[in-house]
Chains A and B, each alone.
Chain A
Amino acid sequence: MNESLFISIIIGITIASTPLIFAAIGELLVERSGVLNLGVEGMMIVGALLGFIVQFHTGSPYLAVLAALLGGMAISSIFAFLTQFLLTNQVATGLALTLFGLGLSAFAGRGYTEETIVLIKAIHIPFLSDIPVIGPLIFSLNPLVYLALVMVYLVWWFLYKTKQGLILRSIGDNHDAAHAIGHNVVRYRFMAILFGGAMAGLGGAFLSLVQVPIWGEDMTAGRGWIALGLVVFASWLPFRIILGAILFGGITVLQLHAQGFDIRISAQYLSMLPYLATIIILVSLRIRLKNKTNRTVPNCLGRIFHSTS
């Protein structure tokens, strides 16, 4: 294979998988605390819009990323409030969040559908970026790609190397017991949900600030849902998120390249690949586990916690 094609495929994969890494690593933490938030798609699209708007008006990528992060967090706080204080069904509330997020961003973004912005560029480190092959692949990626990897590491570090992370895992395992020994279940879960919102917001922003310089109300195209699938695929283990996202990114890039080569399959069938792949990945995971119960599944996932005392 031609070297530059190889590099462009690899870079394509990082670009396709990064939004999923962001959204999935956030949701992973949320689910580890025992909460299932199906609103990822809605939070992502809000992040995508806010990132776009702020970039459009200020031209500052820092502010744009920050806005996306805060926007995702803000909209996730609705979910957090409803599920943690008003004890609503998490599945229903998460769906409502997705529908609401899609509607809200379509409404608020109606003035921006014709606009374009300046994309966030990949970094260039003198010397290092110029090394053949390794330079472009390791030292010249988009800054947000590095950030996504750092976030995965941080989540892992938090979960396994800090007391708070241990408490969060214990809450996901048995919220009644965690409450009995005095940990504040609702506070931990609230925080986790906000973090999940922030990450989904970042994932959305990546779409509108790095992938394409435009805004469209359907630009998430199911990536929030795919991120939810990745969490399951990763068995709730942080580093496996990267693996899953790369697999998915690979399929997306493959499909794009296949469309470029004159392959005699209609584009629609190729576009189905990422969605079908998600299903196949989930099935293959179950086949690998041979129907054994998985110890890393948070026991309390989706269950409502209400302390009687």
Chain B
Amino acid sequence: MNYQLEVSNITKSYGDLKANDDVSLNIKDSSIHALLGENGAGKSTLVKIIYGSLMPDSGEMKWDGSNYNPKSPFEARENGIAMVFQHFSLFESLTVEENIILGLDGVGLNENFTDEILKYSKQYGLDINPQQVVGDLSVGARQRVEIIRCLLQKPKLLIMDEPTSVLTPQEVSDLFVTLRKLADDGCSILYISHKLEEVREICSEATILRGGKLVQSCVPQEHSQKELAEMMIGKKLTELARSNINTGSDIFSIKNLSCPSDDMFGVDLTDISLTLKQGSIVGIAGVAGNGQDELMELLIGEKATDNDVLYFDGHDIGSLNSHERRQLSMFFIPEERLGHGAVPDMSLDENMLLSRPESDKMTSRDVIDWDIVSTFTQKVISDFDVQTPSGRMLAKSLSGGNLQKFMVGRELIRKPKLLIVSQPTWGVDAGSANNIHQSLIALADQGSAILIISQDLDEILSLCEQIHVLSEGRLSDAVDMKKDGLEKISQLMVGGESS
């Protein structure tokens, strides 16, 4: 058997943490190989080592049968390894063509390059306009730019880091067509994911990591999805279910909200209407960049709306800022943890003060009582199982999952009448995600209303009893799941896509 890449016994530590512990992995010629694992399982570290942006502490690699120790991404690319990053490494103010040229070593700025891009674009069905500025592109289109950038290097191994996490179902199936074609043309693909269904669909082999260690390499089709999940997660997760849904009267409504974006690259919101009842969990699905950020900004109160648009508990709240809204028992968890929901360079105690209902006495007449603040921090830490030595730790020192638990806890201990949360489990490990989902359900069961904005369709489907789709700044009516189901949602998600 010919292996394109052989990775043997790689170990990489950060201080006490072993990100990779004796990991091995072999990728066959012209195959699509899955690298499976939870967040924090060590996938990214391994991939960075292969791509030359990290050096392993020990272990070795072979490329095409000979020794391979890349010291930089340049060296990896010279050998024929290309990578599509999870958070795209694109430059928003530059054009597609400029972006592509930047990723190619030894290519200058010559005029005929446009044709070359269009050639690949046609060959692999990757629709793109080379002269467009990347900032104006949809997420799917940006990924196509990344892929073309990689293909132009004529790679023998293409690494794709969580490529489908931001795509619509239609874009996903288009991507799979492209990937199969590539593999047929002789390019191996290392496909990093935690989505088992996808892996079973297109990968011929899978390597599973957990906690930095190799669990197993196997053929994914030979295992059930459940078996793969258990290998990946290692323990069984509690099933989610809302047993009895008791909804009360209307508590929150959006009436014909329209708002042009301030940002050049932003999305204008058009005629959004929505009503939430007490005790209900409502979900807004949709692909990133369709107005989620803009909507969240208005719901939190970071930007004021007109009068007679937002109503909460009988109050017209359009002109209230977030602090004033909290006094009415509305609470918020934004998507971005570092820099939005939490201040990275401040302690957890200080971060408690970002969300501050005056009834809790953390401050009186704006004078802070630090004892009370840290009592609340301790409560959040213990009730929500936040792994941290103390409330004095800087927010940025916590892992994504722990910080998310802190942020969720900070809002939930207030027993909000309405919680608005964006991407509640983005980049969070499965265990923490499960905890967070359960606490959200518990909150709704006590009669609170919850609005979830999420790109994770599975999350929305499992938590929400009423689902809307946000596309190009417009919100659909609630989808009748019994009648139309998933297909309708997919259709709505793609509906707005212009390309």
Contact = CB atoms under 8 A, between A and B. Distances in A.
A180 B73 contact: yes
Given A166-B101, A295-B135, A180 B72 contact: no
Contacts of A271: none
A164 to B, nearest CB: 10
A43 B89 CA distance: 35
B299 to A, nearest CB: 22
Contact of B93 (A162, A173, A183): A173
B354 to A, nearest CB: 22
A142 interface: no
Contact of B77 (A162, A174, A182, A293): A182
B102 A181 contact: yes
B28 interface: no
B94 A162 contact: no
Nearest to A292: B264
Contacts of B103: 181
Nearest to A297: B93
Given A163-B109, A166-B109, A180 B89 contact: yes
Contacts of B263: 293
Given A180-B73, A182-B77, A167 B93 contact: no
Contacts of B54: 309
B91 A174 contact: yes
Nearest to A173: B91
Query: Which secondary structure dominates chain B's binding surface?
Result: loop
A166 B92 contact: no
B56 to A, nearest CB: 12
Nearest to A167: B102
B109 A177 contact: no
A161 interface: yes
B489 interface: no
A245 to B, nearest CB: 25
Contacts of A182: 52-53, 72-74, 77
Contacts, number: 67
A295 B264 contact: yes
B85 A295 contact: no
A292 B265 CA distance: 11
Interface in A242-291: 291
A293 B73 contact: no
Nearest to B106: A163
A18 B275 CA distance: 63
B108 interface: yes
Q: Of residues A180, A181, A295, which shows the largest number of chain B Cβ atoms within 10 Å of its Cβ?
A: A181
A183 B103 CA distance: 9
B128 to A, nearest CB: 18
Contacts of A299: 92-93
A295 B93 contact: yes
Interface string B77-103: 100000001001111111000110111
Contact of B101 (A161, A163, A178, A180): A163
A292 B48 CA distance: 38
Contacts of B102: 166-167, 170, 178, 181, 183
A169 B92 CA distance: 11
Contacts of A162: 108-109
Contact of A309 (B53, B91, B133, B264): B53
Contacts of A177: 88-91
Contacts of B135: 295
A182 B92 CA distance: 18
Interface string B49-79: 0001110000000000000000011100100
A296 B93 contact: yes
A166 B102 CA distance: 7
B92 A181 contact: no
Contacts of A309: 48, 53-54
A296 B52 CA distance: 32
Contact of A180 (B53, B93, B94, B99): B53
Interface in A175-212: 176-178, 180-183
Nearest to B98: A166
B113 to A, nearest CB: 12
A185 to B, nearest CB: 12
Contacts of A170: 91, 94, 98-99, 102
A169 B108 contact: no
Contacts of B72: 182
Contacts of B108: 162-163
Contacts of A163: 101, 107-109
B10 to A, nearest CB: 15
A177 B149 CA distance: 14
B89 A181 contact: yes
A173 B48 contact: no
A180 B87 CA distance: 11
A174 B109 contact: no
A130 B97 CA distance: 49
Contacts of A178: 89, 91, 102
Nearest to A162: B109
Pick the 7 closest A-B CB pairs, nearest first: A177-B89, A182-B73, A180-B89, A173-B91, A170-B91, A182-B74, A173-B93
Interface of B: 48, 52-54, 72-74, 77, 85, 88-94, 98-99, 101-103, 107-109, 133, 135, 262-264
Given A177-B90, A182-B74, A295-B264, 4 more contacts: A162-B108, A170-B102, A178-B102, A182-B53
